[in-house]
């Protein structure tokens, strides 16, 4: 295991009344055992394709080959897709230097753009600015019917046509395989233009798709080892398949903690605070995963994304001084000794001699530890996840850990982790208002 979880600072015996009681946790763990049985059965019968991804290898060459062809002679690759069609890819790409907070792209070419929002000004300006002869577009929609993605794909097709570029040379689509009787707008649109299509696994929903071609294609474009991502995911799944004691399965322990604290101690929010720029997109991915999988039938807790140390200067005052309504997860990455080392003389000049000789990573690591302990000292429940080395394997493990934890939490809450019934009403209304625009 490349990631280490501890819930010591979330226990009643450690932090007092806002921690979880031993009996309550045991009861939740016992219920989580049923979810583990279910997961093992679905792994055995193939009923949940997500669980077979760690061992899947036959698609990796196809993904690598598509990435190579897309990246060849390309300056820019524009990923079109929203929600689950984008956040997994963004999370993986950030490991390679995509969208580093405050800095921008630190990755090797080509430049990646993940257009997951619909904004008239941004997309128009981007299309006008891109060198279209060396730009590739990847359009992703599981159902093929996502209005935002279809609009952007159509706008891209029109821009390519105007630039005299053949769509079939510049685009790729990822959507479900054709099914008789089921319309797929993206497949029809791109098929008409002879654009190559890859298949979105119909059994893996968008927010669980980071480890499929949806997330791995952009990762491969940036040169990441996608096999290692899958292997890392296997490390998070292994304790489930090994039929270990429930408390020794990290995803089950995390899920039991979150649900038991919500039900017994009214911790209605789940804050994930990651201490690494390269995990900032991960926190957004987590927000979708947790919110959309659990928020139904009046159930669910609200995920909150935070980044350390910066949010110590933004949200920590509320965490410590405000209501005790949150469970915290601090995700830290070993950083001691890393980054620029501080000159002794300059540290003295700044009146902070204790900074001299230390590195930026030393301070960031000390702050992650200090925040964890300060939260616990003030009676806030904290679960910690420590990553010794942030790379493809540990990130794959982290993503699978949270997908499993979410599925187990859904089991405990009695909701379906895989649907999103409430978003239809807004889509219908939007079409009505669009018609009158």
For residues 64-123, which are near a second copy according to CB under 8 A?
A: 82-84, 87, 97, 99-106, 111, 113-123
Of the chain, the end-to-end C-alpha distance in Å amounts to: 54
**Closest approach of Cβ 322 to a second copy, in Å?**
4
Tell me the C-alpha distance between 13 and 427, whole Å: 48
**Residue in 45, 58, 164, 340 binding a second copy, rule: CB under 8 A:** 340
Paired sense of beta strands 171-175 and 3-6, if any: unpaired
Q: Which residues pair with 90 in a beta bridge?
A: none
What part of residues 216-255 is at the interface with a second copy (CB under 8 A)?
none
By CB under 8 A, tell whether 400 contacts a second copy. Answer: no
Q: Which is nearer to a second copy, 41 or 318 (CB)?
A: 318
| φ, ψ of residue 144 in degrees (nearest 5) | 80, 5
Kindly identify the residues of this chain, within the stretch 367-386, that bind a second copy according to CB under 8 A.
Answer: 367, 369-371, 373-374, 377-378
Burial of 59 (0-12, 13-18, 19+ CB in 10 A): middle
* DSSP secondary structure letter of residue 355: G
Identify residues 161-200 at the interface with a second copy (CB under 8 A). Answer: 183-186, 188-189, 192
Q: Please select the residue that binds a second copy; options are 300, 327, 382, 383, rule is CB under 8 A.
A: 300
SS3 414: coil
For a second copy, the closer CB: 30 or 350: 350
Q: Is 277 in the site for a second copy (CB under 8 A)?
A: yes
Structure tokens at 218: 């952009």
Residue 432 touches a second copy, criterion: CB under 8 A: yes
292 an active-site residue? yes
Which C-beta is closer to a second copy: that of 40 or that of 341? Answer: 341
* Residue 11, phi then psi, degrees to nearest 5: -95, 145
- Choose, from 13, 182, 427, 431, the residue flagged as catalytic: 427
Q: How many residues bind a second copy (CB under 8 A)?
A: 136
User: Of 6, 263, 366, 379, which one interacts with a second copy (CB under 8 A)?
Assistant: 366
Strand, coil or helix: what is 417? coil
Comparing CB distances to a second copy, the nearer of 243 and 314 is 314
Catalytic, out of 176, 280, 292, 405: 292
CA dihedral sign, ordered 292, 295, 300, 306: positive
Q: Which is nearer to a second copy, 105 or 178 (CB)?
A: 105
Which letter, b or e, does each residue of 74-108 get, where b requires 16 or more Cβ atoms within 10 Å of its Cβ? bebbbbbbbbbbbbbbbbbbbbbbbbeeeeebebe
Residues classed as catalytic: 292, 313, 427
């Amino acid at each position: 295991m490349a990631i280490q979880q501890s819930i010591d600072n979330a226990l009643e015996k450690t932090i007092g009344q806002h921690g979880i009681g031993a009996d309550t946790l045991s009861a939740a763990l016992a219920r989580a055992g049923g979810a583990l049985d279910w997961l093992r059965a679905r792994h055995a019968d193939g009923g949940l394709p997500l669980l077979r991804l760690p061992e899947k290898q036959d698609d990796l060459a196809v993904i690598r080959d598509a990435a190579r062809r897309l990246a060849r002679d390309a300056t820019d690759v524009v990923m079109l897709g929203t929600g689950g069609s984008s956040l997994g890819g963004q999370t993986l790409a950030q490991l390679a230097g995509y969208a580093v907070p405050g800095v921008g792209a630190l990755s090797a070419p080509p430049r990646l753009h993940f257009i997951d929002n619909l904004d008239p000004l941004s997309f128009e300006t981007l299309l006008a600015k891109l060198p279209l002869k060396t730009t590739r577009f990847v359009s992703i929609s599981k159902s093929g019917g996502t209005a935002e993605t279809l609009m952007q794909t159509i706008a891209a097709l029109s821009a390519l046509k105007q630039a005299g570029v053949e769509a079939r040379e510049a685009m790729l689509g990822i959507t479900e395989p054709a099914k008789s009787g089921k319309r797929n707008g993206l497949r029809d649109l791109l098929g008409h233009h002879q654009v190559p299509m890859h298949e979105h696994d119909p059994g893996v929903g968008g927010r669980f798709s980071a480890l499929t071609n949806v997330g791995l294609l952009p990762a491969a474009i940036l040169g990441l080892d996608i096999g290692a991502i899958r292997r890392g995911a296997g490390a998070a799944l292994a304790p489930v398949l090994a039929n270990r004691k429930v408390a020794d399965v990290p995803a089950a322990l995390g899920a039991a903690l979150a649900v038991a604290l919500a039900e017994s101690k009214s911790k209605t929010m789940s804050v994930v605070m990651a201490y690494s720029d390269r995990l900032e997109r991960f926190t957004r991915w987590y927000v979708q995963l947790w919110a959309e999988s659990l928020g139904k039938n009046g159930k669910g807790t609200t995920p909150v994304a935070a980044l350390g140390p910066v949010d110590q200067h933004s949200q920590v005052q509320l965490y410590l001084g405000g209501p005790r309504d949150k469970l915290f997860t601090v995700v830290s990455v070993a950083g001691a000794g890393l980054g620029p080392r501080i000159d002794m003389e300059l540290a003295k000049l700044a009146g902070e001699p204790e900074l001299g000789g230390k590195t930026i990573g030393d301070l960031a690591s000390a702050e992650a530890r200090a925040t964890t302990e300060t939260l616990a000292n003030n009676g806030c429940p904290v679960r910690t996840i420590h990553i010794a080395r942030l790379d493809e394997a540990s990130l794959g493990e982290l993503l699978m850990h949270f997908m499993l934890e979410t599925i187990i939490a859904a089991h405990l809450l009695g909701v379906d982790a895989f649907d999103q019934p409430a978003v239809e009403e807004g889509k219908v209304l939007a079409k009505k208002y669009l018609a009158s625009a």
